[in-house]
Every structure is written in C-alpha cells, then in structure tokens.
Chains A and B, each alone.
Chain A
C-alpha cells in the first residue's frame, strides 16, 4: 500500500469520525482541552406586560440570588442563563430544587419550570455547572401576595 493510499484512508477515517461525532454529539476523549466554566449567571429580566418582577439580591455567602415574582395566574416560567466563557466546553447545567421532590414543580432540561399544583407555594432552584467547577446560580420564584388583611373585630 502506498503512502498516498494510507493518507487517503486516514483522511476518510478522520472525516467519518467528525461526522459521527457531529451526529451523535460525542466529545472526542482524545485531548483534554476542556474549557471550564468561570461563571454561571441567570439572565431573566422583569416582564411588565406579564407582570413578572425580577430582582437580584445577594445571600449570606455573597452569591447572587435572582428573585422572580409571578402573578398567580402564571404557572410556567422559563429560566434563562449564561455560562462564561463563551467557548466553555460543557454547557449543560443541572437543576435542583426541594420543590421537585415535593412535586410542587418540575423543571425540564431546558430550564422550563412548571408549577404542578394551584397552590402559591414558591420554589427555590439551584443551577449548577456540570463540568466540576460547581458554579452555582440561584433563583427563587414566588407568587404575589394580597395586601388585604381583612377586618379586625374588637
């Protein structure tokens, strides 16, 4: 077999590998040039039209908490986030919430939160990078409460 033939076969194999990886999304294990996450930020903003208020605060550990306040009528909410740097290798994040276990909410892999009951029980949700950097972002979703307390009998 000539060198040209060998090179040709190698090229074909490489192209096949690229195609296969492209189709099946398999990361080549060959080279450890993963770019780890440096930050994970929730990017949701207020939506006056839907009467959704989004504010930001900091917890006792200096971590940002994104507070979302929903009208009771809204039972579905999409979490939006960004991981930096832009070319980070592992973009998948995990969602954890005590309210998932309590069957109060469900969260899809794309961050769509569904409130499964009619109660106004809110939810606290932790987003975390899955590349081992353990970058954390927190969102708290609550529903607006009535400010009327009723009549006091004396």
Chain B
C-alpha cells in the first residue's frame, strides 16, 4: 500500500511540473514576438444577439478585433484560427440571457445573447384562482404579443388560439392553458380551487333507510371570496338532493350550489346493521335506545333539547375507554351532545327512539279483516254479508291498531311520527287521493289521531310504515263519524254510560271487566236488580249531590246502584253490569254502538253465586234468587239476570205517559185510546239505542236435557247467574249482531219498547235467545236464533190490559231461522218449574199437530245423546206467555180476563189471540189449538177465504149437479161453474169437492156415497187427492160447521213452504201459552 501511495504522489508532481513548463514556453514565445494582446473587442453588428426561443444563435457575422500591446489591431472573423466562441451556455429553448465567451490567445471577451419567447402572454386579467364551476373566457382576458425580431419588441396580436383541452372547471386543480399564434406557442397555468367548502360533519356518512335530512339545517357552506382569498360562510346556496332516495339502499351524491360554483358529497343509505344503526331526521342524528355507539375520544356532555339543561344521568351512558367513548341514550327524547372540535366548542343534536323488532297491523285489526273476509260464508255468524264501513269517530283520539315491539321487548311504544310514517289518502270516487295537508283533517299527538269535524262522512286510507326500518306497510281504510273511539273495557264502560255520547265505535276485541265496586265484600258478584229507580242520574244528582260522597254500602243499602255525575258521566257503578247507561230524564237519546265486527268477550266475567250470596246473608240480594225445588233446595236460580250491556233511558214523563195510556184505555177502550197508540207513545219516548256489527260472547252455556239431578242443580245455581248480552229498558235496534253463550241473548223489560232485530245471530243461551218481558214489540228479520235452554224467543205479557204498548208481540217471517231443539228437561225448565209441564205439554201439542195434520206431521224429533239415550225434542221457536193465568173454573169472558191478548205477526199477517182462542177457533182439538203459520194463520183471513171458496164451490156445485143430470143449470150456476173451471186451482177444486159434501150435507161415509153417485164429483175428488190434499172427511168439523176449512188448513200442513205451527196450550202455572214450533213429516209407521 505504501508503494502505491508513493507512486500516486509522484504522478501528481510530474503533472504540475509539465503545466508550469508549458506556460513558461508560451510566454517565452509571445515575448519572443515582441507584443502582447491588450484587449479584444467584438463587433456584433451583424450578429442577432436577441434570438427567439427555439431558433439557433448565429454568430457567423461576428468580427473580433484584437488590439495588441503596441496598439496594433487585427480583425478576425468567426472562422479565424485560434479564435474560439463558446456558446455552450445558450439554451435557445429557454428564454433568458446567456453569456457567450470569445477567446483569442487566452484573452476573453464576453457578450450576452438573449433568448426571448416568440410569443408573450399577458394574463393579468385572468383570475389568479378560479373556483369550481367558474367560467372564464381566456381569449378575451388574454393579451398575446408576438416578438418582432426587427424591433426586438413584442407586438400585440389578435391572431391566436387558446387551448383549454385540459382545463376542467368542475374539478379543483392546476391546469395549463396553451396559446398558439402562428408558429408560436405558449402556455400559462391556472388554478381551479373549490368554490365552496361543505362541512357535512353533522350528517353521518351512512344513515339507515327512512332518514330525512333538512340539508340546509345541517350543512355549513363557505364560499370562496376572491377579494380576500378566504372562504366566507354563507347561507346563499342551494342543495340538490333530487336523486336521494331514503327508501332505497345506495350511495347518493348531494350537490350544493352557490352561484356558479358547487361542491358535492355523498351519503350512503343502508339497511340497519351493527355497523351502522344511525338515522337522521331534519338536523338531528337519530339513534336507537337499545344500541351502544362509538364516539371519538374526547370530552362530552349531554343536555336536553334546550341545549342547557343537563340530561339526567339515567337517560344516557357515556363510558370512555382507551380508544373510544361508548355512547348510549336509554331514555327516548331529543338531546344535544356537546363536545370540542378543532379546539372549538361544538354540539350535535341527537334523538333516541325505539328500534322496532316488529311492526305490523295489530291482531285486532287482522281479526277484523278476517271477519269481513268471512262475511257470507259458513265461517261467519254475521248475518249481513255486505261489508259495512269501518267507523272511526271524531269525538276523541283514535289509535291505529299496530303491533309494535322494540328491541328492549317493550310493547307500549309511543308510535309517533318519530318512529312511524303515516300517509293519509282520502277516497275520491273509486280512487284515494293523498291528503296534501294533514292539518286539514286530523290533529296528531304522538300516536293519538283526532279527526276534525269536517271529515265526518269521508273515507280515508292510511298507510303506516316504519320510518327507519323495512316492514310490510300497515294499511287501514275507514269512514269517519262523529262518535267516540273505544279501545278498552274501561273506555267502553265510561262512554256507554255517558248520556252525552251518542255514537261509540269499537276498535278492539274487548275483554269485559268489572271493578271491585261491583263485587260484594265476600268476593261474590253483586246481585242487585238494576232498574231505573235505582239510578241517580245527572238530573237527580243536580238536586242531591250527596250521593257522590256516600259510600258503597250506603248507596247499596239505599238501592242506588248507579250514581252519575252532573255532567252525564258515571261516577259510581255498584251494579253488576260492566256497561250501563241509565237516565230517567232523557229524550232523544239515540246511542249507536258500532262494533266494527269486534267481539266483547264476557267469558271471564264472574257468575252470580247464589249460594255465596245467601250464605253471606245478603238478604236484599237474595230477593232475586229463587229455589225451584222449594225452601229445602240446594240449588237456586238467579232471576236478576245481570247483563253485559244494560241500558234504560227514558223520559222524565215515562211513568206518567204509561199511566195516561192506561187511563185512556180504561176510559175510551183500546180502539179509541189515542194516548195508548204506539205512534203517540213513540213520539214521547223517543230514546233508542242501536247496536250493530258487534259480537258478544258471555259466560253462560246452553244446557242439555239429559243431566242428572245433581248436574241440573249445579247448573241452575251456576249458569243461571251468567250474564245476558244486551238488556234494555229502552227501544233498541239490533243490526248484524252475533251473540253466543249468554244467559239471555237479547232482553227487553220495557212497556212499549221497540225491539228491532235484524241480521242477528243468537245461540247457545242458557235461557232464551230473545226475551221480551212486559210489553215489548219485537220485530225480527233475517236472523238466526239457535240453541237455548228454553224458548228461543220468549215473550211475556205481564199487562192485563190490551194495547200496542201493553202487549208483548213478535213480528217475524220466513227470513228468521230458529234451531232450538229442547226436550223440556233442560235446567232452565227446571229453574222455571216447567220441567213437570213441558214433557207432557210437548206430547199433547204433538198430538194436536198429528191430529190436525191428518197424522202426517209432528213436532217431536227423536235424538240420541252421547250415552245412547233417546229424547224427544221439539224446536221451541217462540213462546208467548200471558202472565195472567185464568184460574180454574173462572169464566174467561169475565171482564178481568177478556182483554188479555197475545199478538204476533208472521209474514205481514197480524195474528191476535185472545185468551178464549182455544175454545173459539175451529182449529182445535180436545187438547189444544194449532194453526200452520201461513197466509191463513189469521183466523179472520182463513174464515174469509173459506167463505169465498165455499161460495164459489156452492155455485159451481149447483152447476155441476145440473150438468150431471140434475136439470139445466141456471145462468148463475153456469157462470159459477165457468168461474171455477177458469180458476182451475187446486184449492178451488178441493173446495169444490168438499163443497159438494157440504151442499149435500154429506159427511163421513155419506161422502163416498155421494161421490159414487156423481162421477164428475169423483173426478174432482181424485184430482184433489192427487194434488196433495188429505181426505178430511173423517174429521168432525163441528166448530166451524164446514169441512172446507179443514181442507184448506191441511193443505197448509202439506205445503213445503210452511214450517211453523202455532199451538196454544194451557199450562198450569203459566196459563195460556202460545207456542210456535217447527213441524216436520211424521215418519211412516
């Protein structure tokens, strides 16, 4: 290595020495010539020292003048030997001034060469910064100059083009603009900057479906100020969110425009997930109360909506950890979260709501829809198959039946507009038009919707959707009325009692409930018999308000079971009815209960426990308990008949009106008693309740006739204490109501009551489907009355005097179907002491029917129970009982009895039966009286028909006899015969034949003799038989004295259209009992 170092040092030394030697030699040579160069000058007159960029520097015209020390000069051109011109520094592509070094004999001269652009751009008019969206006309703002080599000046030109190909004023950036003029090109740069800056930090980048954003409330927008070169916050901007769809997941671009500039940002709409469970509403971030969110590390505080009141600690959780702050608001509401951002105080609005794990129409609405869908099918007991509108009232708040559940498993969710969207549409013809302004039709408070009076009569459709979640929309269609809306048993009780309320709309299947006040202290159901005089109504309470402060015991002891407030609301209910409505001072009360096809379920109501009441010593309540088997009995029948619905609304003059009618009848007789007419009475007593489209199920059970004594005793004690469905002391209209398992289905107890029943199904009742106690006028159509423990329809006339308002009556027709086969041994009969009567009575009645039908019909049907025992049942359709039994041996024609009548109407035929009908009508047997319900059930109608036919027959007979050889007929006889022949109907033929017998005074065997003697008569007779008439010649027509009547009546039995037979029977203990029951063919022996 040392050797190498020595070698290198030696080489350097030798090189230096050689250089010195050369310099010495050169000096010596010049010195030897005798002169030296004192200076060099360059003549650049022929050289262009200012050249255009891109051209070549041409120094060929240079002249170099060398001045020597002796002042001699020598001039060289560029090609002279020893002359060097160094232009290497020149970059002709780049404008600038470059030095050119001229050297001769080690003497240098430097001159400058300037490279200039051939084109010069003056851009001072062009903005330094262009904002996004700003349009700039570069050509008009640009000054272009071209270098004039002659003058070495730039001359302005208008001949140029601007190339903005790369320029994009929509996107921030720096862009180069090219300019071309002739062969010259130049460019300049422009900067496009954001014209506005959007602070969208208030809006989460991902929000869940349904979020709604008030963009201008949540965005902070600043616009570039060219003068100050800063961004100034502005409100002068527009937001284009037209493509934003908060119902469809996706990422959406939101464009904000202010003047010509704009900016965009994106928001993603997504389904709720564990990654993003945030929604947005207006300017508020919506979070869910069950979920925990992550906040960046920092310091936070939460206030209420006012921004100042600290939120209660129980409302939220803020738990910092190493990398985040866990945040949860557990109490729903609006809050403000305060924090620090960029060293500045900041805040964010939050709302906590429920996260729905279920949203759909509720079970009750679904049940309603099922009920409507089943109309007209066997699955429905609603008789009216035409769907009626679902009715919603304006009288109070309405809640849509929604089944909601939140993530905390809570169901009592406030389903307000924070959680759900309600879209309203009004029916317009066959269409539904969206309601533009909800304020016009409804007031909304949370989930309470109060419809305005202007909507009465209008039909709406409402579609409810979960605001931030995807659930099947819930749809409701309804029509508005002026009623109140009822959702619970307590609401039904409250509004039903309130005589200021005229219309009630049910919106749920309601489980009937009673309060603790309605029980006795020993826990048994109170058994007070509620009547109008046991009510302290609103008028009463104005006269004596002390009832409001009396205890239950005091009120019950005073037999005041309903205590009203003066404002018409019910203050206390000590009766056993859940839904009572009473007043003794009311006119024009027309309550309508719209069931909306819902069910009022009384199945869980208690039964009146007779034994418990008696054992507890509630003697006053024992008044209405009865021992069918005498004082030693262990079973008691309850007579008070608690009812689920019980109303008695009458005018303050009701009693006087009744008395006036009585007096009028007593003075003027029924025919002339104007005060006792139904029309007069109705004008004075104009209260009428209506129940429609309603189902009622009570806590009773229909009994059977095959029970043991023990079972019967137990049933009588227990089930007779079940609830009736509707009991009324007012007029009532039952329309499309279905009633099951009641003690009594429909029950009136008022003199003169109009009791209209239509499209109604009543079945499985303990006692009767329908019970009219006192002078109620029942009109029933299109209805079904099914199984009951006693008569399907029971009318009890408790008034001795006659008259429309004093006689219970029933008006029915073939649209009424009764299916109530009883044996007479059911506990109800036992409870009424009828079990000893009916079994014998039904046999007697059956015997009457068999006899009067020529032994072809009967009312008893043999059926077998599950143990194989056979029972004789009859379809116990209607029974009318006159409570004024005529004592044995008393002349029924006595004044005390002779006005007692029972009235019914079938198919428009009014039938009036007096207490002596059994004896006076010709359709009787020794044990009773029976008439088929048809056009001839009315005795007068039948008699008129018989007379008419007999007249025809008589005339025809005469003619016939004449034609048969008895001589030439008279003109009248001939005409009569022709009339018969033209009529040609079977009735006439029958009458004709029978008439022959009458005319000849023939009966029994004499008829056959007559027929044999007169061949034409035999022909007519045979025709009669072949047309279904029964040979009645064997019957004794003593009552009417003519066989013709029997012929007609028996044809009624044989007419397939006829179904019911009316039977009058005297039943000990009940008196004359008028029963209507079904008859059928008697099986062949």
Contact = CB atoms under 8 A, between A and B. Distances in A.
B471 A121 contact: yes
A96 B275 CA distance: 36
A148 B295 CA distance: 13
B617 interface: no
Interface in B338-373: 339, 341, 346, 348, 355, 357-358, 360-363, 365-367, 370
Interface stretch (B694-702, B775-783, B1072-1080): B694-702
A134 to B, nearest CB: 5
A126 B367 contact: yes
B777 to A, nearest CB: 29
A136 B403 contact: no
Contact of A145 (B357, B362, B363, B508): B357
A36 B741 contact: yes
Interface string B485-496: 001110000000
B276 interface: yes
A10 to B, nearest CB: 10
Nearest to A53: B409
A148 B277 contact: yes
Most buried by A among B201, B355, B363, B702: B363
B534 interface: no
B750 interface: no
Given A31-B866, A146-B274, A96 B367 contact: yes
Contacts of B362: 124
B865 A119 contact: no
A42 interface: no
Interface in A105-154: 119-126, 128, 132-136, 138, 140, 142-154
B360 A149 contact: no
B807 interface: no
Which secondary structure dominates where chain A touches chain B?
loop
B935 to A, nearest CB: 32
B471 A63 contact: no
Contact of B603 (A38, A59, A62): A38
Given A31-B863, A122-B358, A62 B513 contact: yes
B763 interface: yes
Contacts of A69: 357, 409
A65 interface: yes
Interface in B244-297: 273-278, 285, 287-288, 290-296
A138 B697 CA distance: 18
Contacts of B513: 62
Given A31-B865, A62-B489, A122-B358, A98 B474 contact: yes
Contacts of B237: none
Contacts of B993: none
B889 interface: no
Contacts of B293: 149-152
Nearest to B291: A149
A19 interface: no
Contacts of A135: 601, 603
A140 to B, nearest CB: 6
Contacts of B603: 38-39, 133-135
B983 interface: no
Contact of A132 (B324, B348, B508, B764): B764
A152 B190 CA distance: 39
Interface string A81-114: 0000000000000001111001010000000000
A56 B290 CA distance: 20
A61 B511 contact: yes
B706 interface: yes
A31 B510 contact: no
Contacts of B276: 149-150
Interface residues of A, number: 56
A28 interface: yes
A79 B509 CA distance: 22
A132 B763 contact: yes
B599 interface: yes
A146 B277 contact: yes
Contacts of B604: 39
A18 to B, nearest CB: 9
B407 interface: yes
A61 B205 contact: no
A133 B741 CA distance: 7
Contacts of B360: 98-99, 102, 121-124
B274 A134 contact: no
Given A98-B366, A142-B357, A152-B285, A67 B763 contact: no
Contact of B294 (A96, A136, A143, A150): A150
A98 B369 CA distance: 9
Contacts of A61: 487-489, 508-511
B810 to A, nearest CB: 23
Contacts of A154: 201, 295-296, 298, 339, 341, 346, 348
Interface in B201-217: 201, 204-206
A140 B403 contact: yes
Contacts of B764: 36, 132
A96 B327 contact: no
B802 to A, nearest CB: 38
A125 B290 contact: no
B470 interface: yes
B472 A99 contact: yes
Nearest to B412: A60
A145 B273 CA distance: 9
B288 A149 contact: yes
A30 B291 contact: no
B291 A121 contact: no
A14 interface: yes
A81 B832 CA distance: 39
A43 interface: no
B701 A36 contact: yes
Nearest to A69: B409
B474 A122 contact: no
A55 interface: yes
B39 interface: no
A132 B740 contact: yes
Contact of A121 (B277, B339, B472): B472
B452 interface: no
Contacts of B409: 55, 67, 69, 142
Contacts of B370: 96
Contacts of B474: 98
A142 B469 CA distance: 14
Contacts of B564: none
A39 B865 CA distance: 25
B864 interface: yes
Contacts of B294: 149-152
A146 B291 contact: yes
Contacts of B407: 145, 147
Contact of B278 (A123, A132, A149): A149
Contacts of A2: none
A150 B274 contact: yes
B487 A31 contact: no
A126 B371 CA distance: 13
A47 interface: no
A147 B294 CA distance: 12
A35 B509 CA distance: 23
Interface of A: 14, 28, 30-36, 38-39, 55, 57, 59-63, 65, 67, 69, 96-99, 102, 104, 119-126, 128, 132-136, 138, 140, 142-154
22 contacts: A33-B866, A55-B409, A57-B411, A60-B487, A61-B509, A63-B511, A67-B409, A121-B470, A122-B357, A124-B363, A125-B363, A133-B741, A140-B403, A140-B411, A142-B358, A146-B277, A149-B274, A149-B291, A150-B273, A150-B276, A150-B294, A154-B348
Which 9 A-B pairs rank lowest in CB-CB distance, beginning with the nearest? A149-B291, A122-B358, A124-B403, A142-B357, A149-B293, A148-B274, A146-B274, A149-B277, A126-B363
Given A39-B603, A133-B741, 13 more contacts: A67-B405, A124-B403, A134-B599, A134-B601, A134-B603, A134-B740, A142-B405, A148-B292, A149-B277, A149-B293, A152-B285, A152-B294, A154-B296
